[in-house]
């Protein structure tokens, strides 16, 4: 579900009143392909992402398939597309301060008309894990 919120504090208030919310992600880009996402990320001003890429922040890029299981090799190939991001901190897959996600939505109602090479209808989201 997409829900426009003004700030992280609004997201925290919402989570404090809910039992079923597992996580909230701040969507940075939405596209039909990884190249769409990469293009959108390259167009963001540095002031937008610099606080996340600071040297004191550990980081991880997670790849997840919604309604489809992705192999480790598929996830690795997706992560490789984002090598251009200028992270200054250390990689920490299990306990990162900054978690960026590539969510690949293969659900039937993803409001997208894009079909990938395997014939799947797909929508991609690049997000920052907030809560």
* 102 phi/psi in degrees, rounded to 5: -105, 110
List beta partners, residue 60: 99
Residue reference for tokens 């426009």: 4
Residue reference for tokens 């606080």: 51
If you average pLDDT over residues 10-36, what whole number do you get? 87
d(CA 77, CA 73): 6
pLDDT tens digits, 1-18: 778 888 888 888 888 888
d(CA 73, CA 98): 23
- pLDDT at residue 43, rounded to an integer: 95
The per-residue DSSP string of 5-35 comes to -SSHHHHHHHHHT-SS----EEEEEEESSHH
d(CA 113, CA 109): 10
Q: Where are the domains of the chain?
A: 25-129
pLDDT tens digits, 75-124: 999 999 999 998 999 999 999 999 999 988 887 765 555 555 555 556 77
């Amino acid at each position: 579900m997409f829900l426009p919120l003004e700030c992280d504090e609004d997201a925290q208030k919402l989570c404090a009143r809910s039992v079923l919310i597992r996580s909230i992600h701040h969507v940075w880009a939405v596209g039909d392909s990884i190249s769409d996402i990469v293009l959108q990320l390259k167009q963001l001003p540095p002031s937008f992402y610099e606080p996340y890429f600071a040297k004191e922040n550990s980081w991880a890029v997670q790849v997840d398939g919604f309604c489809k299981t992705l192999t480790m090799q598929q996830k690795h190939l997706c992560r490789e597309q984002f090598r251009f991001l200028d992270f200054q901190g250390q990689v920490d897959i299990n306990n990162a301060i900054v978690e960026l996600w590539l969510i690949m939505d293969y659900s039937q109602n993803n409001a997208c008309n894009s079909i990938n090479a395997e014939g799947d209808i797909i929508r991609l989201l690049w997000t920052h894990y907030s809560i």
